[in-house]
Structure 1
Amino acid sequence: MTLYIDPPQWPGHGRMWSHLVSDVSFDELHAFAARMGLPGRAFDGDHYDVAASSYADAVRLGAVEVRSRDVVRLLRAAGLRRRKRPGARPG
C-alpha cells in the first residue's frame, strides 16, 4: 500500500493544499483518508486535497513525499487519472 503526497503549494480558500493519491486503488485512497480524518468533500475525483496543516500527519501515517509533477504521472500509470468535467471547480 503506497500513498503519495505532493508539497502544499496549491492555494485555495485562504490556505495552501497538497494532493494525496494512490497508485493502486481508490479503496486504498479512501481508507487512508479516513485514517487521517479527511472529510469526503476533500475528495476531488482522483485525489484528496490535504491542507498544509495536515501534511505532516499524512507523511507520519506513511504517505510518500513526491514532486507535484509526479502526482499525475502516478495516477496515469495506475489507470486512476480522472479528467475534470467541463464546468467543474478548479483543483
Structure 2
Amino acid sequence: MVVYVDPPAWPARGRLWSHLISDVSFEELHAFAEMLGLPRRGFDRDHYDMPAERVPVAVWLGARPVSSREIVRLLHAAGLRRPKHLFSCQRA
C-alpha cells in the first residue's frame, strides 16, 4: 500500500491541512485513512483533507511525502483525479 501526503499548507478552521491520496484506488485510500483514524467526512472527491498534526503519523505508517503539485500529477496519472467542476456537474 502506497499513499501520498503533501505538506500542510491549506488553512481552514484555525489549522493547516494536507491532502492524502492513493495512486491505486479509493479503496486503498479509505483503508489507510481508517488506520489513521480520519473520518470519512474528510474525503473530498479524490483525497482526504488531513490536519497537520496527523502528517507525522501518516508518514510513520508509510505515506510518502510529496509536493502538492506531485499530488495532482499522481492523481491524473492514475486516472483518479475528480476536479471540482466535474463533480458538481455529476451531481446535477
Pair in the same fold by TM > 0.5: yes
Shift of 1:80: 0.3
Normalized per residue, the structure richer in helix is 2
Shift of 1:13: 1.0
**In structure 1, C-alpha distance between the alignment counterparts of 2:48 and 2:38, rounded to whole Å:** 8
Dislocated runs of 4+, deviation >4 Å:
none
Residue equivalent to 2:80: 80
In the alignment, structure 1 segments of 5+ residues that lack a partner are none
Residue equivalent to 1:13: 13
**In structure 1, C-alpha distance between the alignment counterparts of 2:73 and 2:13, rounded to whole Å:** 26
Q: Secondary structure at the match of 2:44?
A: coil
Residue equivalent to 1:55: 55
Q: Number of aligned pairs?
A: 87
Kindly name which structure, 1 or 2, has the bigger radius of gyration based on alpha carbons: 2
Residue equivalent to 1:68: 68
Identical residues among aligned pairs (%): 62
In the alignment, structure 2 segments of 5+ residues that lack a partner are none
Shift of 1:85: 3.7
Per the normalisation by structure 1, the TM-score is 0.91
Kindly indicate whether residue 42 of structure 2 is the aligned counterpart of residue 42 of structure 1. yes
